[in-house]
């Protein structure tokens, strides 16, 4: 039986996998590697460079095609949550001249985010006045505006194979309103509401997100989906004693990942 085929470097420490590595040109692969890709029933960690092509070939991917299509794009994620009817903070996207209408829909303070290719809390701004709004608009042609939630912490749930493997509060340090661990937030595993974990799993199943870190807020004892990351941080799970890379590797080798299609 051929070993599982991996493109990206995520599982390279495991000899049970054949990690080919990403190549800028397919001609850089030897013919036998291209044949392995063609024959593989599943391609693991295909990297953004090969996802559309492999999907067009009908290949099953892990993480899933949906994970790759929606990673790092807050606009697409918000649209998905709304289409699925999942709870999400009040959010609007403003293009071009529509940006002049922001204050018709939102009163200071509100949150403005870089809509694409931002992570670890970068590109997220608390807008409290006109000057801050103008500075944000100067750097962002498309404005992604969201109501400010009156919360002191948020929740990260890591869902792998549609199962919650780790859930924790992210608590900002004094003077910081963002709750990203990369921005100095601390991790608290106590008292995570089960309804938040249930919503994270339901969202992952509904959107076919089979390896993802989902962020949520609790407002009036009800969870709201904020966003999700396929390239989620590992610091929180590590503090719980969970090596997510090893969890994934063992899940693949045991036949649990990717999860069976229903």
User: Is residue 1's pLDDT more than 70?
Assistant: no
What is the CATH number assigned to the segment(s) 90-147?
3.30.1490.20
40-58 pLDDT tens trace: 999 999 999 999 999 999 9
User: Is residue 88's pLDDT more than 80?
Assistant: yes
Q: What is the dihedral of CA 201, 41, 80, 203, to 10 degrees?
A: 0
Helix (H) or strand (E) holding 142: strand 142-147
232-259 pLDDT tens trace: 989 999 999 999 999 999 999 999 999 9
Provide the residue ranges of all domains of the chain, joining segments of one domain with +.
Answer: 5-62, 90-147, 151-253
- Comparing 90-147 with 151-253, is the CATH topology the same? no
Asked whether 62 and 257 are in contact (CB, 8 A), the reply is yes
203: left (phi over 0), alpha (psi -120 to 50) or beta: alpha
Whole-number Å distance between alpha carbons of 50 and 21: 11
Asked whether 211 and 248 are in contact (CB, 8 A), the reply is yes
Task: Give me the phi and psi of 90, to 5 degrees please.
Answer: -60, 125
Strands across the sheet with 18-19, in order? 18-19, 5-6, 42-44, 60-62
**pLDDT value at residue 182:** 72
Number of neighbours of residue 237 by Cβ within 10 angstroms: 23
**pLDDT value at residue 119:** 61
* Residue showing tokens 């289409």: 83
Task: Give me the phi and psi of 163, to 5 degrees please.
Answer: -120, 140
**pLDDT value at residue 17:** 98
- Residue 165: beta bridge partners? none
**pLDDT value at residue 118:** 67
103-160 pLDDT tens trace: 999 999 999 999 987 666 578 999 999 999 999 999 999 999 999 999 999 999 999 9
Mean pLDDT of the chain: 95
193-214 pLDDT tens trace: 999 999 999 999 999 999 999 9
13-23 pLDDT tens trace: 999 999 999 99
Report the pLDDT averaged over residues 86-91.
98
Superfamily of domain 151-253, CATH level 4: ATP-grasp fold, B domain (3.30.470.20)
DSSP β-ladder status, 142-147 and 110-113: antiparallel
**pLDDT value at residue 18:** 98
- Residue 159: beta bridge partners? 164, 212
228-239 pLDDT tens trace: 999 998 999 999
**pLDDT value at residue 174:** 87
Task: Give me the phi and psi of 38, to 5 degrees please.
Answer: -65, -35
User: Is residue 90's pLDDT more than 90?
Assistant: yes
């Amino acid at each position: 039986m051929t070993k599982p085929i991996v493109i990206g470097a995520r599982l390279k420490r495991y000899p049970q996998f054949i990690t080919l590595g990403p190549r800028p040109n397919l001609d850089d692969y030897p013919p036998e590697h291209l044949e392995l890709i063609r024959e593989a029933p599943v391609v693991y960690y295909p990297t953004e460079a090969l996802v559309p092509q492999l999907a067009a070939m009908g290949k099953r991917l892990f993480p899933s095609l949906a994970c790759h299509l929606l990673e790092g794009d807050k606009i697409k994620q918000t649209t998905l949550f709304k289409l699925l009817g999942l709870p999400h903070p009040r959010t609007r996207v403003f293009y071009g001249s529509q940006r002049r209408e922001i204050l018709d829909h939102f009163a200071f303070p509100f949150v403005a985010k870089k809509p694409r290719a931002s992570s670890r809390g970068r590109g997220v701004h608390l807008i409290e006045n006109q000057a801050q709004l103008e500075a944000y608009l100067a750097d962002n042609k498309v404005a992604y505006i969201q109501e400010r939630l009156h919360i002191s912490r948020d929740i990260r749930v890591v869902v792998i194979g549609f199962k919650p493997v780790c859930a924790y509060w992210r608590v900002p340090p004094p003077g910081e309103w963002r709750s990203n661990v990369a921005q100095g937030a601390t991790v608290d595993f106590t008292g995570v509401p089960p309804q938040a974990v249930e919503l994270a799993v339901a969202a992952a199943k509904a959107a076919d997100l089979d390896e993802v870190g989902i962020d949520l807020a609790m407002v009036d004892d009800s969870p709201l989906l904020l966003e999700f990351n396929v390239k989620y941080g590992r610091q929180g799970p590590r503090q719980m004693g969970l090596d997510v890379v090893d969890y994934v590797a063992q899940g693949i080798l045991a036949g649990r990942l990717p999860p069976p299609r229903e």
